[in-house]
Amino acid sequence: MPVTALAGRVQPLGRILVEPADNLSPDLFSGRQPRFGHQSGHRGPFDRIRSRAPERPVCDGRFAAAQHAKRRMHTTHRRRRMGLLADRVAVVTGGGDIGAAVVSGLRQHGADVALWDRQPQVLEGLPDGVAGRVVDVTSDSEVASATDAAIDAKGRIDVLVNTAGVLTSASVAEMSTDKWNQTIEVNLSGVFRCCRAVVPHMIKRGSGSIINVSSTGGLHGAVDHGHYCASKFGVIGLSESLALEVGQHGVRVNCICPGAVSSEMNTAMLTAMAASTGSSYEDFEESIVNKTALRRLVQPADVANAAVFLASDLSSCITGVALPVSGGLS
């Protein structure tokens, strides 16, 4: 049946009325983008469809879902023009190679970023748009105070990326209790403290993305790294549990599991491991590279790209995931 004939039969659909075809908006056939902004929400191609009860349209579930999807798409398109993370406020813990790359990636995509690190020198010379604060993630009071200050300054925290961590090597038989405790305190308890401080605020706002940097050492064990692997396994377990707790409030929690990263911390560890085996650093690194499908080390920017993805609306239906960024390390 022709459109004009169908629309000419004015049929009331519940409380929504479709007017005759003569009064249809020319936008429907002109190729122009349909207009937005009606009492009942997003107006579709039939620009003169109107509700007699805009405060509560019929077919609430489907109609509301369609409106929400269209508004989200419109917002996503706007953010892509301005940056995937435009209007987002992010906190990054740890200013090492990975943390610095994450800060740069978030800024590049439009986020307003704060960097927390326990070493003041790391916070010197930060780029424009990045606020620095000295924070020790092993301190309950410092994490709580920094969280309150960030919210007071920006009004909210939309994204939390926990990259702060330490990496040392020792066999279980030879490991000191202090070394064990330090690794767990920074790598696992530090993540816990930051999540605990930020989660209530995100729940109150009904949105947020938490990204915890674990490791491929959190997916399988490694010789002389029992303490490190225990901490990184714990980060994944904490993240998966938290994702289940806060998902109903619109908050997402995910992990990134980098493999062998070309970073200062990883280089120091590989150097020590090479020395212990009597190999040169170059030969030892090559042996690691040969175990990856892509035949290269992970760059900090690779981890940052994953963080940007998980922080953005592109991953809006992803939570409770431990994402390997390892180049296919076997």
pLDDT in tens, 245-303: 999 999 999 999 999 999 999 888 888 888 888 889 899 999 999 999 999 999 999 99
DSSP 329: B
Domain-terminating residue out of 54, 81, 108 = 81
Q: Answer with the residue of higher pLDDT: 34 or 317.
A: 317
Burial class (CB in 10 A: 0-12, 13-18, 19+), 53: exposed
**Shared-domain flag, residues 100 and 74:** no
Confidence band for 63, pLDDT divided at 50, 70 and 90:
low
Q: Please report the pLDDT score of residue 276 as a whole number.
A: 81
**Shared-domain flag, residues 158 and 304:** yes
Q: Is residue 136 part of a domain?
A: yes
Q: Please report the pLDDT score of residue 277 as a whole number.
A: 84
Q: Is residue 73 part of a domain?
A: yes
**Shared-domain flag, residues 173 and 251:** yes
Instruction: Point out which residues pair with 92 in neighbouring strands.
Output: 115, 161
Q: Is residue 105 part of a domain?
A: yes
- Length of the chain (residues): 330
Domain-terminating residue out of 62, 81, 100 = 81
CA 4 and chain centroid, separation:
49
Q: Please report the pLDDT score of residue 21 as a whole number.
A: 42
**Burial letters 62-86, b for 16+ CB under 10 A, else e:** ebeeebeebeeeeeeeebeeebbbb
Domain count, the chain: 2
Mean pLDDT of the chain: 84
Query: Could you tell me which of 176, 266, 251, 177 has the C-alpha nearest to residue 216?
Result: 266
Q: How many CB atoms lie within 10 A of CB 326?
A: 22
**Shared-domain flag, residues 260 and 131:** yes
Q: Is residue 301 part of a domain?
A: yes
Q: Has residue 72 got a pLDDT over 50? A: yes
**Shared-domain flag, residues 35 and 98:** no
Structural contact between residues 251 and 207, judged by C-beta atoms closer than 8 angstroms:
yes
Which CATH number belongs to the domain containing residue 150 in this structure?
3.40.50.720
Three-state DSSP state, 269: helix
As a whole number of angstroms, the distance between CA 238 and CA 327 comes to 25
Q: Please report the pLDDT score of residue 14 as a whole number.
A: 42
As a whole number of angstroms, the distance between CA 96 and CA 300 comes to 10
**Shared-domain flag, residues 188 and 135:** yes
Residues 177-190: what's their mean pLDDT? 98
Q: Is residue 201 part of a domain?
A: yes
- The dihedrals phi and psi of 25, each to the nearest 5 degrees, come to -65, 135
pTM over 0.85: no
Q: Please report the pLDDT score of residue 27 as a whole number.
A: 42
Query: Could you tell me which of 13, 172, 8, 151 has the C-alpha nearest to residue 89?
Result: 151
Q: Please report the pLDDT score of residue 71 as a whole number.
A: 63
Strand order in the sheet with 322-325: 130-134, 112-117, 89-93, 159-162, 208-213, 251-258, 322-325
Alpha-carbon distances, residue 125 vs 15, 128, 132, 167, 241 (angstroms): 61, 9, 10, 25, 37
As a whole number of angstroms, the distance between CA 191 and CA 233 comes to 12
Q: Please report the pLDDT score of residue 268 as a whole number.
A: 87
Q: Is residue 20 part of a domain?
A: yes
Q: Has residue 162 got a pLDDT over 70? A: yes
Percent of the chain with pLDDT over 90: 68
Q: Is residue 330 part of a domain?
A: no
Burial class (CB in 10 A: 0-12, 13-18, 19+), 305: middle
**Shared-domain flag, residues 62 and 89:** no
Query: Could you tell me which of 158, 69, 149 has the C-alpha nearest to residue 112?
Result: 158
As a whole number of angstroms, the distance between CA 178 and CA 211 comes to 28
**Shared-domain flag, residues 317 and 269:** yes
**Shared-domain flag, residues 69 and 92:** no
Could you read off the pLDDT of 131-150 as tens digits, one per residue?
999 999 999 999 999 999 99
Catalytic positions, written as ranges: 228
Q: Is residue 284 part of a domain?
A: yes
**Shared-domain flag, residues 110 and 69:** no
Could you read off the pLDDT of 9-48 as tens digits, one per residue?
444 434 433 334 444 444 433 444 444 344 444 444 334 3
**Shared-domain flag, residues 149 and 198:** yes
- Can you give the residue range of the structural domain that contains 45? 3-81
**Shared-domain flag, residues 71 and 109:** no
Domain-terminating residue out of 28, 63, 81 = 81
Confidence band for 106, pLDDT divided at 50, 70 and 90:
very high
As a whole number of angstroms, the distance between CA 94 and CA 162 comes to 7
Query: Could you tell me which of 125, 240, 229 has the C-alpha nearest to residue 184?
Result: 229
